[in-house]
Amino acid sequence: MSPTAFETTPVLEGLTSSEPELAEGPVIVLTETEQQLELAGSELSESELGQIGTETQKQIVPLASTASSQESVLPRPQSQAARDRAELLRYFHKDNLTLKNTDWVVAGWMFAMHVGCLAAPFFVTWEAVLTAAVLHWLTCSIGICMTFHRCLSHRSLKLRNPTKFIGTVIGSIAGEGSPLTWAATHRVHHGHSDQEGDPHSPLEGPWWSHLWWMMIKTTPRKKQLLYQYYAPDLVRDPMMQFFEKTFAFWLWGTALTLLFVGGLPMLLWGLCVRMVLAYHSTWFVNSATHLWGYRNYETTDASRNLWWVALFAYGEGWHNNHHAHPRLARAGHKWWEFDMTWWTISFLRLIGQATDVDDRIPEGNAAS
């Protein structure tokens, strides 16, 4: 998941603001897979995207560690692109979360949504409750799971218009960040899952992966590097540029529409309750499915399959399956691993709105 973004910064423009000092950490030597992603002006091919998340072991070299022994092996000299990517990963370091470096807009929004959720039971109408339920399914399953995650982040399928546009609108009103921010941050997670540089690993603490990682302020430099190295394909998409510039409009427009149509009950249920439930369903994928559950596949991270997260997050709880085979469009690999988002993808393929769907069920590489 990506933090809620309320300001829209022009993508990959020159930087004018000062940057905070980043937390010191180990030097991250990128794997060959990641360095290959820098070729051709950071172009990401179909095959390279499929490798994101399948090679997550990084060589971690502590600062000044090579001075301890003449037998130490120095890392290969890094290109400017490799140094830029290492700089980006330091922005996600836990020590960067300080009062001075807290995104108070994001923190304030999250606080307001939870207060509104607690107030909602005192303002109940059946119309408002039904609206919250429908919008929860639309934003979580259609917007985030199918469009932002499986289509944009992993290219597990291609969506034709108008489904792609509608799915991106619905994903935007989920309030989890713009499509570019969400997809790029998720690709960072797969490239460094439970390793140094992972934006939200529960190995840094369950609450860090669930919530606190989003509170670090996003700077123009961080956004520039994030988009340049982890979403260059999406940056070139005019539709993604449109939503980058209009993200706040869709979010606030939804809130005002709900208030106008159904008053305070509709706002509290259709926005606050729906968003809080949707937020936590996504956050549990970041936290719980790296802590509890079973494994179908051996992976280099701590990903797990957890049935109740899969139920709450429309199939995304089969997280070990996904980390072992991130390119696949279906998250459930056993007959009983229900995946409601996959049902929607199957229907869209039937009517011709979803194409190039990677629906394989892998064999082998089973966990012991």
Tell me the pLDDT tens digit for each residue of 284-308.
999 999 999 999 999 999 999 999 9
Q: Percent of the chain having pLDDT more than 90?
A: 69
| Total of domains in the chain | 1
Q: What single-letter amino acid sits at 216?
A: I
Question: How many CA atoms does the CB half-sphere of 60 hold within 13 Å?
Answer: 11
- Between 258 and 205, the higher pLDDT residue: 258
Residue whose tokens read 């179908």: 296
Whether 27 is covered by a domain: the verdict is no
Residue 203: pLDDT band with limits 50, 70, 90:
confident
60 inside domain = no
Assign residue 7 a region (left: φ > 0; alpha: ψ between -120 and 50; beta: otherwise).
beta
- Higher-confidence position of 363 and 92: 92
DSSP, res 31: P
Confidence at residue 361, expressed as pLDDT on a 0 to 100 scale: 87
Q: Average pLDDT for residues 216-231, to the nearest whole number?
A: 94
pLDDT > 70? residue 42: no
pLDDT, residue 237, reads: 97
In this predicted structure, what is the pLDDT of residue 135?
A: 98
Residue 17 included in any domain: no
Using an 8 Å Cβ cutoff, are 285 and 277 in contact?
no
Q: What is the pLDDT of residue 9?
A: 41
Position 362 confidence tier, pLDDT thresholds 50, 70, 90: confident
Residue 60 DSSP code: E
pLDDT of 52 = 53
DSSP string, 115-145: HHHHHGGGS--HHHHHHHHHHHHIIIIIIII
Helix, strand, coil percent values for the chain (each to nearest 5): 55, 5, 40
pLDDT value of residue 298: 93
Q: How confident is the model at residue 204 (pLDDT cuts 50, 70, 90)?
A: confident
pLDDT at 314 over 70: yes
pLDDT at 196 over 60: yes
Give the model's pLDDT for residue 27: 44
Q: Interior CA angle at 233 toward 231 and 235, to 5°?
A: 70
**Distance between CA 151 and CA 145 in Å, rounded?**
9
Q: For the chain, how big is the Rg over CA atoms in Å?
A: 20
How distant, in Å, are the alpha carbons of 24, 54, 223, 260, 326 from that of 287? 25, 20, 24, 36, 18
pLDDT band (50, 70, 90) for residue 216: very high
Instruction: Tell me if 61 is assigned to some domain.
Output: no
Residue 157's pLDDT band (cuts 50, 70, 90): very high
Strands 158-159 and 354-355: antiparallel
| Cα 355 versus chain centre, distance | 23
73 Cβ contact list (under 8 Å, min separation 6): 66
For 14, the token pair is 């020159």
Q: What is the pLDDT of residues 21-34, one digit of tens each?
A: 555 544 444 444 44
Domain enclosing residue 264, as ranges: 104-182+234-355
Q: Which amino acid would we find at residue 250?
A: W
* pLDDT value of residue 139: 97
Burial per residue of 250-268, b for 16 or more beta-carbon CB atoms within 10 angstroms, e otherwise: bbeebbeebbeebebbbbb
- Averaged over 162-168, what is the pLDDT? 98
Residue 44, in any domain of the structure: no
pLDDT for 348: 98
Q: Is residue 115 part of a domain?
A: yes
Residue 271, in any domain of the structure: yes
pLDDT at 6: 42
Asked if the structure places residue 315 within a domain, the reply is: yes
pLDDT band at 38 (very low <50, low <70, confident <90, very high): very low
Instruction: Compute CA distances 361 → 19, 27, 68, 331, whole Å.
Output: 45, 37, 48, 10
Task: State residue 81's pLDDT score.
Answer: 86
pLDDT tens digits along 80-119: 888 899 899 999 999 889 999 999 999 999 999 999 999 9
At residue 70, does pLDDT exceed 90?
no
Q: Which of 3-17, 190-204, 214-228, 324-338 has the lowest mean pLDDT?
A: 3-17
Highest mean pLDDT among 6-20, 120-134, 353-367: 120-134
| Dist. CA 220–CA 287, nearest whole Å | 27
What pLDDT is stored for residue 221 in this prediction? 93
